[in-house]
Amino acid sequence: MVIKKSQEQKIKEALSKHIDSIYPSKEALENVLKSGKKLTIYWGIDPTSPHIHLAHATNLFVLRRLQNLGHRIIVLIGDFTARIGDPSGRDKGRIVLNEKDVEKNLKNYKKMVLKILNSQKTLFKFNSEWWGKMSAADLLALDDLVTHQQIIEREMFQKRITEKNPVSVREMQYPLIQGYDSVALKTDIEIGGTDQLFNMLMGRELEKVLLKKEKFVITTPLLENPNTGRKIMSKSEGNYISMDDKPADMFGKVMALPDEVILICFKLLTDLDEKRLVEIEIRVMADENPRDIKADLALEIVKLYNGETKARQAAEEFERVFKKHELPKNIEEVPIPKEVSITIKERNIVELLMQLHFTPSRSQARRLVLANAVKVDNKVINDPNVRINVVSGMIVQVGKRHFKKIKVK
């Protein structure tokens, strides 16, 4: 017999997981949710990379639960703010992106977000829609609402000043510009990581002043290594697992995570119920082989983004390649056109790695070879001057997870 949950239970569950803090208070938000009023809720992301990594799922899980309660969900793509560069958590300035970089990066964002959110009930917006129309006079009017002292009190700005690292005026404008997005959307709730709190509270203050409206702010925990305090995934550092990684790559990358992050990843990167999470915690505390628990984590994560069948296949592939040391079942075949193959029949290993798109530069290819990370037909190549006689069917491997098969046309 299925017992239907009351609306009050659903509201409590919606605010029970993947949340760090709620401003002004959890109780105040619960009361508004219980009132039956349909709220506008937004989460924003700047397309500073072509990928959305798994750590962002924490925000999307909260959005999905609120979406299931019938509220209006907006995903705001910061195509304008991406060209400014969010200074949050940065001890130095970001590289400024141009419009072409931003357009290239956001190409697959919608597809990745909709792996978790309902496509029929999710509205996508771009903040260039209003910022592209703003005049200098409009921006100066906004500037009058905030003081220099309010902006400069940010901890990371203070850190930079103390260390004599520059803080650009452009970066100081960022919290104000992101904050105004809340005004433009007339939002009731904004969701973001704890590192976004300053920016989100700025939006809360602007809504109070300009709209006479009380905006709620929900912060979600950052995915950090409990032993080091460092972010486990970061777009700017390039150490992340993307929502659109191939199933086998995603599975392998999860298995490569350090053992000490298993539990926090189960809590933040999956939407398992409390009972399952307690079972996982007991297994970790009982010193069960971390590899087995991590394999369950990888299976859950791959299943979330690619479905159960592909997740099982990825698990089998990992077992075959890493435990039994066999070749993957499906290796990407790279065709080499006849006119090109003549020139590379005996190709230097560094050139071959670039030809097969393993690496964009000669220096990186050389480093891989010198690090014993390259195999050709299961033979380690450690001399960057070696020349390879290229033939169809030859398998080139880089690291533990990356294989390509050559097909000479």
Domain of residue 340, CATH code: 3.10.290.10
* Residue 392 confidence (pLDDT): 83
- Let me know whether 381 and 404 are in one domain: yes
* Residue 97 confidence (pLDDT): 67
- Given 201, 220, 239, which residue is the final one in a domain? 220
- Is 225 within the bounds of a domain? no
- Let me know whether 206 and 304 are in one domain: no
- Which residues 6+ apart lie within 8 Å of 254 measured at CB? 241, 265, 294, 297, 298, 301, 302
* Residue 88 confidence (pLDDT): 54
- Is 273 within the bounds of a domain? yes
- Let me know whether 35 and 173 are in one domain: yes
- Is 400 within the bounds of a domain? yes
What's the rounded Cα separation, in Å, for the pair 116 and 304?
Answer: 8
Domain of residue 101, CATH code: 3.40.50.620
- Let me know whether 309 and 210 are in one domain: no
* Residue 205 confidence (pLDDT): 94
Domain of residue 301, CATH code: 1.10.240.10
Report which DSSP code applies to 327. Answer: P
Work out the angle between the directed axes of helices 290-306 and 274-285 (0-180°, nearest 10). Answer: 150
- Let me know whether 129 and 193 are in one domain: yes
Is 91 in contact with 166 (CB distance < 8 Å)?
no
- Let me know whether 363 and 278 are in one domain: no
- Let me know whether 12 and 110 are in one domain: yes
- Is 187 within the bounds of a domain? yes
One digit per residue, the tens of pLDDT, for the chain of length 409 reads 445 678 888 999 999 999 999 999 999 999 999 999 999 999 999 888 888 999 999 999 999 999 999 999 999 999 888 877 655 544 444 556 667 777 777 778 999 999 999 999 999 999 999 998 989 898 888 888 887 777 777 776 777 778 778 777 777 888 889 999 999 999 999 999 999 999 999 999 999 999 999 999 999 999 999 988 888 887 666 678 999 999 999 999 999 999 999 999 999 999 999 999 999 999 999 989 999 999 999 999 999 999 999 999 999 988 887 776 777 777 788 877 654 544 546 778 888 888 888 888 888 888 888 888 888 888 888 888 888 888 888 888 888 778 888 887 7
- Let me know whether 150 and 286 are in one domain: no
> What are the structure tokens assigned to 27, written together?
């109780």
Domain that holds residue 259: 247-323
Number of domains in the chain: 3
- Let me know whether 314 and 193 are in one domain: no
- Is 239 within the bounds of a domain? no
- Let me know whether 176 and 252 are in one domain: no
Is 297 in contact with 270 (CB distance < 8 Å)?
yes
What's the rounded Cα separation, in Å, for the pair 290 and 256?
Answer: 11
Residue corresponding to tokens 């030809």: 355
- Is 351 within the bounds of a domain? yes
